[in-house]
Amino acid sequence: MKIFELEIHRYRYPKFFNEITKYLSKKDIKKGKSIFTPNPEMCLATLQDAEFLHILQEADYLTSDGIGLYLGYQIQGNNYPKIVNIILFPYYFLNLFFGKFALYKKYGDRICGSDITEDLVYFCEATGISIAILDPFFPEDEAKCMAQKHFSKNLKKVFPNLKFDHYVYSEKNKNEIFNKIADSKAKVLFSTLGMKKQEVSVLEGLQKCKNLHLGLGVGSSFDYFVGFQKRAPEAWRSAGFEWLYRIFTSPNKLKRLRRIFQAVVVFPFTVIFYKSHDKSI
Amino acid in the structure at residue 155: L
User: Do 162 and 124 form a contact (C-beta atoms < 8 A)?
Assistant: yes
161 Cβ contact partners less than 8 Å away, ≥ 6 residues apart: 125, 128
**pLDDT of amino acid 225:** 80
State pLDDT tens for residues 39-67. 999 999 999 999 999 999 999 999 999 88
- What value does the mean pLDDT take over residues 94-113? 94
Give the mean pLDDT of the chain: 89
Beta strands in 52-193 (DSSP E): 61-62, 130-136, 164-169, 186-191
The better pLDDT of the pair 74, 243 is held by 74
User: Do 13 and 63 form a contact (C-beta atoms < 8 A)?
Assistant: no
Position 243 confidence tier, pLDDT thresholds 50, 70, 90: low
State pLDDT tens for residues 87-98. 999 999 999 989
| pTM listed for this prediction | 0.89
Position 228 confidence tier, pLDDT thresholds 50, 70, 90: low
pLDDT at 240 over 70: no
How far is the CA of 135 from the CAs of 116, 144, 229, in angstroms? 17, 10, 15
Burial of 126 (0-12, 13-18, 19+ CB in 10 A): exposed
**pLDDT of amino acid 279:** 45
**pLDDT of amino acid 260:** 85
CA distance 95 to 153: 42
**What ranges do the domains of the chain cover?**
2-276
How far is the CA of 115 from the CAs of 94, 110, 112, 167, in angstroms? 24, 10, 6, 22
**pLDDT of amino acid 281:** 36
In percent, how much of the chain has pLDDT > 90? 68
State pLDDT tens for residues 170-218. 999 999 999 999 999 999 999 999 999 999 999 999 999 999 999 999 9
- What value does the mean pLDDT take over residues 133-138? 89
